[in-house]
Structure 1
Amino acid sequence: MTFTSYAQNFEDVMLWRALKHIDHGCYVDVGAQHPVIDSVSKAFYEHGWRGTHIEPVPQYAELLRKDRPDETVLQIALADVEGTIELNVIPETGLSTAVDAYAKRHQEERLFGSQQITVSAMPLKSALRSLEGKAVHWLKIDVEGFETQVLKGWDSQLLRPWVMVVEATIPGSAETDYAAWDEIIVAANYQFVYFDGLNRFYIAREHAELAAAFLSPPNVFDDIKLTGNSSLCSELIAAHHARMLQDAGQIARAEARAAQATTHAAQIEAQAAQAAAHAAQIEAQLRDMLNSSSWRITAPLRNWVSVLRKIKFALKTGTLVPAIKRRIKNRRSLPEAAVEQKPHNLSPRAERIYTELKNAAELEKNKCEENKCAS
């Protein structure tokens, strides 16, 4: 059967593996904090178990009363003697502590502010006197550095849990710190069976058969289902949301670049269409001009202008006379009928140039004939 885990470090999975054969069991949760988030007892409560919660922080004690109306909630602190203690409350965390040095370190290293309140305190044996002689199947202690004082107030003859779970690291650190209180539990005839990186698990010697349940850490065969309210799930969900936001940002930037590229392409297409339209307009104008009467009428004039430009260039470069000579020489070999006659309808300037060319040709022709005669 699937087991829904709420605990911070799968403490409930290990306890359920060892004690699931118990119907309507009993537990004691010291430093219970929230009734759901990171709760070691929530899964057991859902399976019909009931127990006692000890929680000195007013906010969490009230939440426990509302969520577990049929359970005992003691809004006190535990100590080795009865009286009061100063508790450093760090809101919205499970780090509230009676150890001033730890509160100061949380402030310096993690910027967690705290408020100091005075709370009633009593030994564990006094607080749980109503459970004397009754079966308590597990006891969990999470008091942020105050474990030694709590265990000094315990009477193992009056209250003897089958399994004990005690946080064994310095708050907010992986460094272990259990030497001062481990001997108290071992001296009470308990056996250490498991360390999960955060807590040490002990079983009463008279329930040695439970040791087999602690040979391996939580695994696939425990058929675990995580609740979305656990710290682990919250962190995974937060990381997933962060990745989603990052991906969404990248997608938005890519879409913006695509839109910009589309706009640029549309501008280029518009410019190309405008250029094509302009070219078509020019082509149409050119076609109209070539087909116009004035263009056909002025065709001879344009031809003579071209000829005059060539003559001007020949005069400038000194190639006119040789060219005329070649032309005359070529014309001598032509029959008389093939000689070009004087063109008609020349302009005065064109006619003058024609006459000059003709005279020059005649002069050259006469010179050649004289040279022949002389020879």
Structure 2
Amino acid sequence: MRIRRLLHLLGPHGKIKARFGQWGEDVIVHRNFDKQKQGFYVDIGAHHPFAHSNTARLWLRGWTGVNVDANRKSVDILRRVRRQDRTIWAAVVSDNIAAERDTIDFFATEQTDLTGTVVPEMASDRGKQTSITVPCRSVASIIEESAELAPNGIDFMNIDIEGMDEEAIASLAEWPQKPRMIAIETYAQTIPDVMQTETFRIMSENGYDFRFQVGLTSIYMRKDFHRGR
């Protein structure tokens, strides 16, 4: 199994692939967990086992976790490749919406495939649009489910859900477990801009330090985070 996982590191010409994340975020994540052979991740908006994935390198090292995506095609391929993970087909919504309903309707186009996750108000105008019904979950409920699978705690959490990221962490104070590291898209252009966001306020008030900004992704670490284990 480990050999099979490592084969995915090879590029088309036999070269080792250095990173999988869109901006190289996974390089920072990997370096901060470089001494930890086993661990647990939660990937919200997982998209694909390798393309633009901030958890691919961890999975290749033998980590396991929970993947969540609203795109059924993404979920199918994640289940085929990451068989030891739990992969959930669901759209992440606010706690209030999740309390009121079990599904949500999205507008998808015929071009929807593994290149992107379908989200409300963000579907492309190209092609014929169709309405699809998707199960919906709050992040709090996903954390609760993940905590049962991670007796040593959740090490890393990635959140990339196309503009819904801030809502996803609104209930962070009430989560049954707080991941040691969280990578979340912020869409701020500069570090001072990041520090003016609601995301920064929520993270700071819940015991996290803002450590890195890579592209559009902000990386936070719990104040008691120690490299490796």
Q: What range is the shorter-chain TM-score in?
A: 0.7 to 0.9
Q: Whole-Å Cα distance in 1 between the matches of residues 133 and 45 of structure 2?
A: 16
Counterpart position of 1:40:
54
1:136 deviates by 1.2
Counterpart of 1:149 (choices 144, 167, 175) is 167
Note the 1:334-349 alignment, pairs <5 A: none
Alignment check: 8 A CA contact 1:55 1:75 kept: yes
1:85 aligns with 2:100: no
1:50 aligns with 2:64: yes
Between Structure 1 and Structure 2, how many residues are aligned?
A: 198
Question: Match of 1:53, as an amino acid?
Answer: N
Counterpart position of 2:75:
61
Question: Match of 1:86, as an amino acid?
Answer: D
**Secondary structure, counterpart of 1:35 in structure 2:** coil
- Which protein has the larger Cα radius of gyration, Structure 1 or Structure 2? 1
Q: Whole-Å Cα distance in 1 between the matches of residues 104 and 203 of structure 2?
A: 24
| Structure 2 CA distance for partners of 1:6 and 1:113, relative to 1, 3 Å | farther
Q: Whole-Å Cα distance in 2 between the matches of residues 67 and 200 of structure 1?
A: 27
Q: Whole-Å Cα distance in 1 between the matches of residues 41 and 198 of structure 2?
A: 25
**Secondary structure, counterpart of 1:8 in structure 2:** coil
Alignment check: 8 A CA contact 1:78 1:149 kept: no
**Secondary structure, counterpart of 2:23 in structure 1:** coil
Alignment check: 8 A CA contact 2:26 2:55 kept: yes
| Structure 2 CA distance for partners of 1:145 and 1:88, relative to 1, 3 Å | farther
Worse overlay, 195-204 or 150-159: 150-159
Alignment check: 8 A CA contact 1:79 1:152 kept: no
Which structure has the higher relative contact order (CA within 8 Å, separation 6+)? Answer: 2
Counterpart position of 1:127:
142
1:113 deviates by 6.3
Alignment check: 8 A CA contact 1:8 1:39 kept: yes
Counterpart of 2:178 (choices 147, 150, 160) is 160
Question: Match of 1:87, as an amino acid?
Answer: F
- Larger strand share, 1 or 2: 2
1:198 aligns with 2:216: yes
Q: Whole-Å Cα distance in 2 between the matches of residues 185 and 113 of structure 1?
A: 39
TM-score scaled by length of structure 2: 0.76
Counterpart of 1:23 (choices 25, 37, 45) is 37
Question: Match of 2:224, as an amino acid?
Answer: E
1:178-213 per-residue CA deviation (whole Å, 9 max, x = no partner) reads 823322211111111111121001000111x45xxx
1:43-93 per-residue CA deviation (whole Å, 9 max, x = no partner) reads 211111111101111110011001111110011122222223333445133
Alignment check: 8 A CA contact 1:79 1:153 kept: no
Counterpart position of 2:86:
72
1:3 deviates by 6.9
Q: Whole-Å Cα distance in 2 between the matches of residues 114 and 182 of structure 1?
A: 35
* Stretches of structure 1 lacking an aligned partner (at least 5 in a row): 211-375
**Secondary structure, counterpart of 2:187 in structure 1:** coil
TM-score scaled by length of structure 1: 0.48
Question: Match of 2:118, as an amino acid?
Answer: S
| Structure 2 CA distance for partners of 1:152 and 1:112, relative to 1, 3 Å | farther
1:117 aligns with 2:132: yes
1:297-349 per-residue CA deviation (whole Å, 9 max, x = no partner) reads xxxxxxxxxxxxxxxxxxxxxxxxxxxxxxxxxxxxxxxxxxxxxxxxxxxxx
* Stretches of structure 2 lacking an aligned partner (at least 5 in a row): 1-15
| Structure 2 CA distance for partners of 1:155 and 1:89, relative to 1, 3 Å | farther
| Structure 2 CA distance for partners of 1:152 and 1:3, relative to 1, 3 Å | same
